[in-house]
Amino acid sequence: MVIGIDMGGTSTKIGIVDEQGRVIKKTSVKTTLYPVFTDYVDALYTALLPVINEVGGMQAIKGIGAGAPNGNFYTGNIEHAANLPWKGIVPFGKLMSEKFGLPCTVTNDANAAALGEMTYGAAKGMKNFIMITLGTGVGSGVVINGQLVYGHDGFAGELGHVIMDRQHGRPCGCGRKGCLETYCSATGVATTAKELLKKDATPSLLRNVEWDKITSKDVFDAAMQGDELAKEVFEFTGKTLGEAFADFVAFSAPEAIILFGGLAQAGDLILKPIRESMEANLLSIWKGKVKLIFSQLPDDDAAILGAASLAV
Amino acid sequence: MVIGIDMGGTSTKIGIVDEQGRVIKKTSVKTTLYPVFTDYVDALYTALLPVINEVGGMQAIKGIGAGAPNGNFYTGNIEHAANLPWKGIVPFGKLMSEKFGLPCTVTNDANAAALGEMTYGAAKGMKNFIMITLGTGVGSGVVINGQLVYGHDGFAGELGHVIMDRQHGRPCGCGRKGCLETYCSATGVATTAKELLKKDATPSLLRNVEWDKITSKDVFDAAMQGDELAKEVFEFTGKTLGEAFADFVAFSAPEAIILFGGLAQAGDLILKPIRESMEANLLSIWKGKVKLIFSQLPDDDAAILGAASLAV
């Protein structure tokens, strides 16, 4: 058995995963409660110890895998994560290893998701694929020759930050303009909706939602009710993703691109425009040849499974 | 010793390379003379046999490596190459192996250049880098974890065909619009010069060149003489490459990007604007950290060495 840790800005979800890829025990810790990092590690230990004892004690556990924002696979450190309580560089892997007496492997959340998909999900048996996580941001994990791509420094696979519009790009949290993430994250979807609402007076169910509170969920709900403006938002989001995916294929010629996360829940509403746009933009040698599929990891446990697969 | 074959649309250059990476014997065959592919293989054999005998006979040769347009590493085939006399799919690797009784490995020219650089040139010891070939077209070879990236189908690394302008892109030979290659190949440089010449009446040495015959070499010569318009062409070319490189870094976080081919001869004229533009466009975690260097393979032998390294 292995331990999978999914560290988020608000809460940290922890699971014990058996050899069949089932999450057999779960617990959690509130990330924000521990401004001192060693206290956080202690809290993880305190939360896990009773659970570990229930499954046969520490000797039954092979290792720990952790997905963390800005987690670096090479060093085990979390480096300058904007949404965590700890500033600078935190030696997460090292402290966990010492505390638990177990090997602890760290990477970022999107990379963990890619590994999870390869170990337990839709990418089983695939040697070349790209995982795209559509959530608050747009993340990615790239697998080539059966290996996750970490690059020279451990930070490869920031595909949410390729530039889609060099002339009039939306400002991005990274300080630049026109990143894929500004169009295709949950926030990007809400922004697109507001831009379309502002453009003219087209009637839309979204006009009933308080302006500042429009979310991608509202857009999804409206689209499901046939709202034309909301459907146009998904068309635009899918078109932009498809254009980006065509460029990604030119880089690594993957067997598949796998979609994961909140926006991927939108099903055909997002998949159809992505596919059309990707096919229209692919070089002819790849037309009709790259699979576009949704993650097959169970929603609730996906991040834990992804992290656990690091330790497998 | 190994044999390196650099197959071009016009001529095929062949060399015998020793263990120190020196091209000790050379010969060539005119590609266009052989409309029947088996005749071409026979011609290679006829040309090589005396040279092989001079260096100790067939038993002194370990294998053959060949860089060919649309060469597929997985199959050894050349598939639908636009600029070669043979249409469809040609079993190059298989026929060569049978004819010579030696293993023959095939890939495309840019991939061969990347392997050559890793085996004999500037990328010695590097595990993660991207080779960009700037010539008639823009090609690329991507190395990750010390391995060349072939992708699912053998055709990965078509970075000349990422889209740089989605609104008003120049038409590309691939049938799409706005590809990097349309701006940064030798032809792209000439096109940029013509666009600038047309825009207004700015004086330029290039106005002395016959319109239809303006080449990237003319632009280079003019820039070296201080011609402002010609220098602006290199500024624009470098800016565009730098923007593309920043996206490539987000994909694979390479240690270096290595420039190879005709345009790379332009030295600082092209390197300086690329570097400025790449740095301006990189995510902050990579600023100042990605090397930008010229190939260190000897010009005349680079393609042969690249091909030979396939067989090493």
Do A238 and A153 share a domain, yes or no? yes
Full residue range of the structural domain in which residue B204 is found: 125-295
- Tell me the three state secondary structure of residue B135: coil
| DSSP for B6-17, written as a single string | EE-SSEEEEEEE
For range B166-194, the mean pLDDT: 96
- Is A251 within 8 Å of B127 when comparing Cβ atoms? no
Among A145, A151, A166, select the one facing B252 at the smallest CB separation: A151
| pLDDT of res. B216 | 95
Residue B144 lies in a domain: yes
Residue A155 contacts B, CB cutoff 8 Å: yes
- Is A163 within 8 Å of B254 when comparing Cβ atoms? no
Do B101 and B176 share a domain, yes or no? no
- Is A252 within 8 Å of B251 when comparing Cβ atoms? yes
| pLDDT of res. A192 | 98
Query: What is the distance between the alpha carbons of residues B15 and B307, in angstroms, rounded to a whole number?
Result: 9
Q: Which two structure tokens, joined as six digits, stand for A219?
A: 């857009």
Q: Which residue matches tokens 């691109």? A: A257
For range A23-35, the mean pLDDT: 96
Q: Rounded mean pLDDT of chain B?
A: 95
Do A19 and A131 share a domain, yes or no? no
Do A109 and A204 share a domain, yes or no? no
Residue A60 lies in a domain: yes
Q: Count other C-beta atoms under 10 Å from residue B282's C-beta.
A: 21
- Is A247 within 8 Å of B162 when comparing Cβ atoms? yes
ipTM: 0.93
Residue B244 lies in a domain: yes
* Contacts (Cβ under 8 Å, ≥6 apart) of A36: none
For range A170-189, the mean pLDDT: 95
Residue A156 contacts B, CB cutoff 8 Å: yes
How far does Cα B187 stand from its chain's mean position? Answer: 14
Do B132 and B231 share a domain, yes or no? yes
Contact A93, A105 (CB under 8 A): yes
Q: Which two structure tokens, joined as six digits, stand for B212?
A: 């239809």
Contact A36, A49 (CB under 8 A): no
- Percent of chain A with pLDDT strictly greater than 70: 100
| pLDDT of res. A9 | 87
- Is A161 within 8 Å of B250 when comparing Cβ atoms? yes
Do A88 and A132 share a domain, yes or no? no
CATH number at residue A183: 3.30.420.40
- Banded model confidence at residue A81, pLDDT cuts 50, 70, 90: confident
Do A207 and A306 share a domain, yes or no? no
Model-level pTM greater than 0.90?
yes
Residue B199 lies in a domain: yes
Do B169 and B211 share a domain, yes or no? yes
CA dihedral B197, B200, B201, B202 (to 10 degrees): -70
| pLDDT of res. A67 | 95
* Contacts (Cβ under 8 Å, ≥6 apart) of B131: B110, B113, B114, B117, B123, B140, B141, B142, B143, B258, B260, B295
| pLDDT of res. B298 | 81
Q: Give Cα separations from A188 to A82, A248, B109, B214, B266 (angstroms).
A: 19, 20, 40, 44, 41
Residue B276 contacts A, CB cutoff 8 Å: no
Residue A251 contacts B, CB cutoff 8 Å: yes
Give contacts of A158 with chain B, Cβ < 8 Å: 250-251, 253, 283
Which one, of B102, B32, B106, lies nearest residue B69 by Cα? B106
Do B82 and B201 share a domain, yes or no? no
Residue A52 contacts B, CB cutoff 8 Å: no
- Banded model confidence at residue B136, pLDDT cuts 50, 70, 90: confident
Encode pLDDT of A86-99 as tens digits.
999 999 999 999 99
Do B78 and B210 share a domain, yes or no? no
The burial class, CB within 10 Å (0-12 / 13-18 / 19+), for B127 is middle
Domains of chain B: total:
2
Contact B182, B160 (CB under 8 A): no
Give contacts of A166 with chain B, Cβ < 8 Å: 164-165, 243
Q: Which two structure tokens, joined as six digits, stand for B207?
A: 């106005």
Q: Is the pLDDT of residue B206 over 90?
A: yes
For range A115-135, the mean pLDDT: 94
Residue A32 lies in a domain: yes
Residue B120 lies in a domain: no
Which residues share a beta bridge with A138? A134
Residue B291 lies in a domain: yes
Query: What is the distance between the alpha carbons of residues A24 and A54, in angstroms, rounded to a whole number?
Result: 11
Query: What is the distance between the alpha carbons of residues B251 and A161, in angstroms, rounded to a whole number?
Result: 9
Residue A120 lies in a domain: no
Do B158 and B39 share a domain, yes or no? no
Do B99 and B180 share a domain, yes or no? no
Q: Which two structure tokens, joined as six digits, stand for A118?
A: 């390869």
| pLDDT of res. A46 | 97
Give contacts of A164 with chain B, Cβ < 8 Å: 166
